[in-house]
Amino acid sequence: MTTRVNWANPYEENTGAWYRGNLHAHSSPASVCSEISMEDLLDGYVRAGIRFLAITDHRTVSEPRRDELILLSGMEWDDGAGRHTNIIGLDKETVRQAAGITEQEQLLGSFGGKDALLILNHPNWELTPHYRREQMAALEGFDGIEIYNHVIERLPGAALATDKWDYLLAMGKRVLGFANDDSHQARDIGGAWNTVRAAAPTPEAIFHALRTGNFYCSTGVVLSDIRVEGGEVVVESENAEEIEVIGHAGCRLHRVRDKAIRFVPDPDVTPYVRFAAYGSGSSMAWTEPFFPR
């Protein structure tokens, strides 16, 4: 599996169905920071309506089994400097190779060409953030960052990291955005997810949709369709109250107070566009970026 993102239109493959999933979760006792057993964790995600899941225990590949869930292999790699990275894949042995690596640059370099996604986790965790934006921009070999990490809502720092996403995109880094629970307790389950458009409810199809960018992130807003018609990007929602277009360095290019938006990107104005939708309360959703040129 070598297909990567079609940055001009990540949503070009428009057949199949939407499936909701989480790529960052911890179980006890595999992760000492977790307070929830594997069985209770899986039960919680089934109740939350999650269809696919990766358990990302620290430097450990856990092997859960649950018929109601499509399970991907995962691990959260970390070092003493707080640089946490998720490795997501289909083959547990490929993911397990990260456990023996001590330096992040070595980690990112060693997974080039392998069937795995490498995601920089919770960039804005703690008052001194785990990742400075210049540090992230200097790194090579990662596929995306967590633009929203739900557990940070109850911890020091900021759950939202779209500021660093826009910095990376403005610096020419074509990276995906992910939203995850990072669940450590039962109350963390179901706060954020990634909704993929996949050809079938299988690990292979789900992983293909993730690695090609055919998904959106959400904390409650449902996007019913994302497509390109001619040169116009169309985003439609079931429950959004407002949708905006974000361009170079986080600038708002357009906004509607509606459930749908149409926008023609101009590469002479901005190298990329992405869409953010807002619903009731503080619910949000984010598309992946489009690079029209």
CATH of the domain at 116: 3.20.20.140
pLDDT digits (tens, 9 = 90+) for 118-153: 999 999 999 999 999 999 999 999 999 999 999 999
Confidence category of residue 172, pLDDT binned at 50, 70, 90:
very high
Q: Which residues contact 207 (CB under 8 A, 6 or more apart)?
A: 1, 72, 88, 89, 90, 115, 117
* Stretch 227-236: mean pLDDT: 96
Same domain, 101 and 190: yes
Cα angle vertex 151, ends 145, 156, to 5°? 95
Confidence category of residue 30, pLDDT binned at 50, 70, 90:
confident
Same domain, 205 and 144: yes
**Structural domain count of the chain:** 2
Same domain, 122 and 167: yes
The DSSP H or E segment spanning 47 is helix 38-47
Report the pLDDT value the prediction gives residue 3, as an integer from 0 to 100: 63
Pair type for strands 252-256 and 242-246: antiparallel
Same domain, 91 and 236: no
Maximum alpha-carbon separation in the chain: 53
* Stretch 221-231: mean pLDDT: 97
Same domain, 28 and 132: yes
pLDDT digits (tens, 9 = 90+) for 60-106: 999 999 999 999 999 999 997 889 999 999 999 999 999 999 999 99
CA 215 to chain centroid: 9
Indicate whether 241 belongs to any domain.
yes
Indicate whether 61 belongs to any domain.
yes
* Stretch 4-25: mean pLDDT: 97
CA distance 84 to 78: 4
Same domain, 207 and 111: yes
Cis check for the bond before 29: say yes or no (omega within 30 of 0).
yes
Same domain, 179 and 162: yes
Same domain, 162 and 252: no
pLDDT digits (tens, 9 = 90+) for 197-209: 999 999 999 999 9
In the chain, % helix, strand, coil (3-state, to 5) comes to 20, 30, 45
Confidence category of residue 237, pLDDT binned at 50, 70, 90:
very high
Indicate whether 80 belongs to any domain.
yes
Is the pLDDT at 174 greater than 80, yes or no? yes
Q: Which residues contact 172 (CB under 8 A, 6 or more apart)?
A: 271
- Among the ranges given (74-88, 169-183, 210-224), the one the predictor scored with the smallest mean pLDDT: 74-88
Report the pLDDT value the prediction gives residue 1, as an integer from 0 to 100: 44
- Residue in 91, 70, 7 with CA at minimum distance from that of residue 288: 7
Is the pLDDT at 190 greater than 50, yes or no? yes
Is the pLDDT at 291 greater than 70, yes or no? yes
Same domain, 168 and 248: no
Which of 165, 184, 215 terminates a domain? The answer is 215
Same domain, 152 and 105: yes
Same domain, 98 and 145: yes
Which of 215, 244, 268 terminates a domain? The answer is 215
Indicate whether 67 belongs to any domain.
yes
Indicate whether 260 belongs to any domain.
yes
Confidence category of residue 32, pLDDT binned at 50, 70, 90:
confident
pTM score of the predicted model: 0.97
Same domain, 193 and 236: no
Which of 198, 215, 232 terminates a domain? The answer is 215
Indicate whether 237 belongs to any domain.
yes
Is the pLDDT at 269 greater than 70, yes or no? yes
**Containing domain of residue 269, as a range?**
223-286
The pair of three-digit structure tokens given for residue 291, joined into one six-digit string: 């690079």
Report the pLDDT value the prediction gives residue 120, as an integer from 0 to 100: 98
